Amino acid sequence: MDDIRSLPVHTPSPSVRAPSVTRSDSPSGPRESGFSVDSPFPEPIPVRVHSIRGGGGVSLSVYDAGDVYGPPLFFIHGFSQCHMAWRRQFQSALSLGFRVVALDLRGHGQSDKPRGAYGDGRLWAEDLHAVITSLGLERPLLVGWSYGGIVISDYLRHYGQAHLAGIHFVSAIVKSGSEEAFSVLAPEMLSLIPGLFTPEEVACQPHLERFVSLLHHQPVPAVTRDLVLDYTRRVPSHVREALGSRAVDNDDVLRRLTLPVLVSHGLEDRVVLPASSRHIASVIPDAQVSLYPEIGHSPFWEDSRRFNRELAAFAARCW
């Protein structure tokens, strides 16, 4: 395990390869306008929107921008969030040299939210597999935030690593439902769990507001807070409860990884303790760790410039 403070930067040029791509929408099809929030560009980078059938026939909303022939970065968000978490990656220089893709996980965002469809890891794995194959993503680099670490582990367990270029775990967890899993959750997050999982939507609201306040170390603009709270609230209580009820331990899967792996974590995280990332790195051969001082649970938003530079540099090792 190699602790680092900053990775060397290498910005890749657009790829010249031409994979066979099967899309549910054409590049000129439906566009997503919400990514314009926080865009540094005079004109926001257009985002293509796809509807893809995942495990068990669940309809998944998938968002796709950048160079359609570029190396693919596939972003997987966390608990009670959505694709919008990655807007500072979509609206950045990453979209000039990479193909950037994010989905709304089942139960989140604009994806289907059925009951009884969250306890089987194979379904989560099939969701990622469906996105990768439907969009023709050739050896994507998976970027998983928080609960996204468990979803990536589900994919690895059922589909292996042969079709991936690398993995970036971000403030991630890979265990749930055990004493060890609870030990890497921050005290403030642990105190919210009963309220977050209650079926009473009205009673849950103050707990959701508190949860959103934990996602960043420093205060955020009101427009950002309101946006995050809005899509957090859209996740039904039965989905939150089902995610919290899973019992998984993926150390066996991680030990078999031979791919390049980067593990990033904010040192002021009030949701998942940095101990979780240190554990992930300790069981993965040659994993690299990047720690962010004065940053909380969302380093990709709180210090997006550093995060995007390090992701581009890491990607250069993967392809």
Q: What is the pLDDT, as a whole number, of residue 195?
A: 96
Side-chain-side CA neighbours of 182 within 13 Å: the count stands at 11
> Whole-angstrom Cα distance, residue 313 to residue 8?
6
Which are the contacts of 68, defined by CB distance < 8 A and separation ≥ 6?
A: 21, 27, 99
Q: What is the pLDDT, as a whole number, of residue 36?
A: 58
Which are the contacts of 191, defined by CB distance < 8 A and separation ≥ 6?
A: none
Angle at 241 (CA atoms; ends 239, 242), nearest 5 degrees: 65
Q: Which residues of the chain have pLDDT under 50?
A: 1-33
Q: What is the pLDDT of residues 54-111, one digit of tens each?
A: 999 999 999 999 999 999 999 999 999 999 999 999 999 999 999 999 999 999 999 9
Angle at 14 (CA atoms; ends 86, 170), nearest 5 degrees: 30
The reported pTM is 0.90
Q: What is the pLDDT, as a whole number, of residue 183?
A: 98
Q: What is the pLDDT, as a whole number, of residue 13?
A: 36
CA nearest neighbour of 240 among 125, 108, 151: 108
Q: What is the pLDDT, as a whole number, of residue 201?
A: 84
What percent of the chain stands above pLDDT 70?
87
